[in-house]
Structure 1
Amino acid sequence: MGNTAVVVGGGIGGLAAAIGLRRIGWEVTVVERAPTLQDAGAGISLAANGLRALDELGVGEAVREASRGQYSGGTRTPQGGWLTRMDGTALEKAVGTPIMGIPRSTLHRLLRAPLRAEALLIGSEVCSVERVGPGTARVDCGDRTLDADLVVAADGIGSKVRGRLFPDHPGPVYSGSTVLRGITEKAVGLRTDFELTWGHGAEFGHIAFNDGRAEWHAVLDLPARTRFADPPAELRRRFRDWHDPIPALLDATRPEDVLHHDVHELRTPLPSYTVGRTALLGDAAHAMTPNLGQGACQALEDAVTLAAALAAEPTVEAGLARYDAERRPRSQAVARAARQAGRMGQRLSHPVAVALRNTAMRLTPSRLATRMILRHHAWVPPQLG
């Protein structure tokens, strides 16, 4: 079996894949098109399955130290009433860890730490990936060419590699929701670690960090490419009557730190996550809506599973076949569940439907709610050695 790989994309999934491949003895080069590593992004919640994957990659302890456990909070109405309460202690007892909140920029830095600086090609655009022999793939980056035994396409939801491998696939589609998010400039006084608030066609949530700052996000059901001349002012207008600490979170964020992205997903599942010596990973393989908080966790699962499969099988082809067989059913099932969660969450707008949902949530026993969460969190990673 060969032992050289090129990972296309330096995000969470790509960096995790590079770490996993290095842990099984492969030489890895990560190609990232961004000219500088600005570590853009807001915050992220990591569930038990993602944390277990990070443990297997050898960075779990560092990530936990930089994260804040989500023990308190839950889901609320705009007036402040509770629909469900989070029981982080019960979840920790069930799966060994609470959900952890961490800035994306911090997670990116921790994932880059195990990699040599020369293994990261920054500001390089992948122009093409071609098979040049029975066991070799060639990655053309314009100013340089890399030959490898394996190519891992972790180049995000708009993956150009996926487009070349599956030219007839419809690609990502707009989910119907757009999201604005940011991180507060300084510490804010919060009574809970994590909250979601569901209105009619709108959602607001926050994640508390261990330094006292917080990430917040606002999800709105709007036509694709809707943009605002003054995003903070628009958010204050839309959420002015919603409960505390929503106005305070908006006021504590600098206008230039507000990000705005439309939410897309791969609604049509891919028929395979591998073609030849190329494996698709993360959003390039199964971009999903964020309603279950599983996008990054599924990419981390991909990374560990790919490395373990390649280590266990006698050939790259056999390893990739095993990776596809293990990852495609689970990740696509999670993507379907995330889409359904969105339909039953902030996307509901009819007053009767909202009232029925809210009543059902208030009447659901906490043990049953925890059991539903465990369907996605209770994943055991394969061992990398």
Structure 2
Amino acid sequence: MERIVIVGGGIAGLALAASLDPARRRVTLVEQRPEPPRVGTSLAVWPNAADALREIGIFDRLAAVSPSVDRFPIIASRGRRLESSVPESILVARSDLLDALDDAVPAAVDRVVRRVDRLDDDPLVGADLVVGADGVHSVVRRDGWGDRSRAVATPVLAVRGVHRGRVDEADLGEYWGRGQLWGLGPHRDGTNWYTAFRSALGPRDVDVVAALREASAIAVPPAVAEILAAAEPRTTLAQRIMVAPRLRSYASGRRVLIGDAAHAMTPNLGRGGGEALTDAVTLAALLDRLPIDEALAAYDLERRRATRRLAVSSAAAMRISLARGAQPLRDALLGAAGGRGSRRAGGRGSRRAGGRGSRRAGARATAGTPS
């Protein structure tokens, strides 16, 4: 039997382990954490990611407890507001997604709890295929693609958490200031909040208390100020936004990259987690149909182009949303596109996925920030 070793037990690694047929190959999942992390905010499940979750068999379970979204207002200075529709999607709590994926992994998959520092470490020796699902700081990418493939730090810090209370529906959305953005969206436990701004903190081991202090020091929209004041460091994540370098291929020999290891992007389009799911089910389906080398070539052709376009678009969105000198022009264009004044979105037929009534979301989740 072919032996496939997956390095990394986050979204991408668990999704692949859940998608591969253990009757046809021996699968080993290596993850340094003994259990999925419990801290985390919402992830936007766009239609392609929803299809991936259906393939794995867990979409209905997640949709039953997750709020749905179909609009995404952007609010700039002086009440300039742009209402825009998005494909109807659900916002899944990261912990719910990881738990569901973990439960979907067949019992026949070998699980190894350990840190991988080199690819000549056991249990990777002798594998027919090593899959790097180990995030933006991927050891698999560094080993197979060299030092030039190391993650690149942006000047932007992302701080996010879950507020246990629910804010007024009219306050949901993404707020663009001068060099800083804030977002409020629904979470099954309350309100998903996030902010991004330029900071010298990090890039590793960011002091959460210092990050919250910096986030609160800038002029904050009233709806966000109350949430920031109540944020608890122990339930807050603060990370420098890192991106993966542009690679000529996601496959190198018998190594292949999925998720953030392949294409970590800025979180501004909310697509990182969903693309990791799509990577996993795509690779699994190709491995079921083709010999390994052919499957890797087909996977690279299909996924590299699609994710590269998203990474470029997401980086452009970050530059626009965090504009400083060009902020007045940006806000004027927003006003022209969406109308001026403090017009607020009304809730027409707000609902949750699964048919239960709920508020309609006005924000996307921060989904691409590397975990």
Short-chain TM bin: 0.7 to 0.9
Counterpart CA distance in 1 for 2:336 and 2:243 is 28
SS across alignment from 1:219: strand
Deviation (angstroms), 1:150: 1.9
Give structure 1 stretches of 5+ with no counterpart: 92-97, 131-139, 364-385
Deviation (angstroms), 1:320: 0.9
Asked which structure has the greater RCO (Cα within 8 Å, sep 6+), the reply is 2
> Are 1:33 and 2:32 matched, yes or no?
yes
Counterpart CA distance in 2 for 1:129 and 1:233 is 40
The code of the aligned residue for 2:309 comes to A
> Are 1:206 and 2:184 matched, yes or no?
yes
Counterpart CA distance in 2 for 1:281 and 1:228 is 29
Task: Please point out which of 308, 323, 332 is paired with 1:332.
Answer: 308
> Are 1:280 and 2:257 matched, yes or no?
yes
Aligned counterpart, 2:104: 114
Task: Please point out which of 185, 188, 196 is paired with 2:166.
Answer: 188
SS across alignment from 1:218: strand
> Are 1:221 and 2:211 matched, yes or no?
no
SS across alignment from 2:256: strand
Change in 2 beyond 3 A, CA 1:236/1:145: closer
Aligned counterpart, 1:157: 136
Change in 2 beyond 3 A, CA 1:122/1:43: farther
Q: Deviations over 1:183-221 (max 9, x none)?
A: 11x23233159511101110000221234x111111012
Aligned counterpart, 2:351: none
SS across alignment from 1:215: strand
> Are 1:169 and 2:148 matched, yes or no?
yes
Counterpart CA distance in 1 for 2:208 and 2:99 is 31
Contact (CA 8 Å) 1:183, 1:215: kept in 2 or not?
yes
Aligned counterpart, 1:44: 43
The code of the aligned residue for 1:203 comes to L
TM-score, length of structure 2 as denominator length: 0.82
Counterpart CA distance in 2 for 1:250 and 1:271 is 41
CA RMSD of aligned residues (A): 2.5
Contact (CA 8 Å) 1:176, 1:224: kept in 2 or not?
no
> Are 1:235 and 2:215 matched, yes or no?
yes
Aligned counterpart, 2:366: none
Change in 2 beyond 3 A, CA 1:207/1:189: closer
Counterpart CA distance in 1 for 2:2 and 2:27 is 8
Aligned counterpart, 1:101: 91
The code of the aligned residue for 1:207 comes to G
Change in 2 beyond 3 A, CA 1:351/1:273: closer
Q: Percent identity?
A: 29
Contact (CA 8 Å) 2:209, 2:233: kept in 1 or not?
no
The code of the aligned residue for 1:125 comes to R
Counterpart CA distance in 2 for 1:24 and 1:77 is 54
Aligned counterpart, 2:115: 125
The code of the aligned residue for 1:355 comes to D
Q: Would you say how many aligned residue pairs link Structure 1 and Structure 2? A: 336
Counterpart CA distance in 1 for 2:210 and 2:246 is 37
Q: Deviations over 1:329-363 (max 9, x none)?
A: 11111111111111122244434433344245427
Aligned counterpart, 1:83: 81
Counterpart CA distance in 1 for 2:23 and 2:112 is 24
TM-score, length of structure 1 as denominator length: 0.79
Change in 2 beyond 3 A, CA 1:119/1:360: farther
SS across alignment from 1:34: coil
Deviation (angstroms), 1:78: 4.8
SS across alignment from 2:104: coil
Change in 2 beyond 3 A, CA 1:129/1:145: closer
Deviation (angstroms), 1:75: 0.9
SS across alignment from 1:148: coil
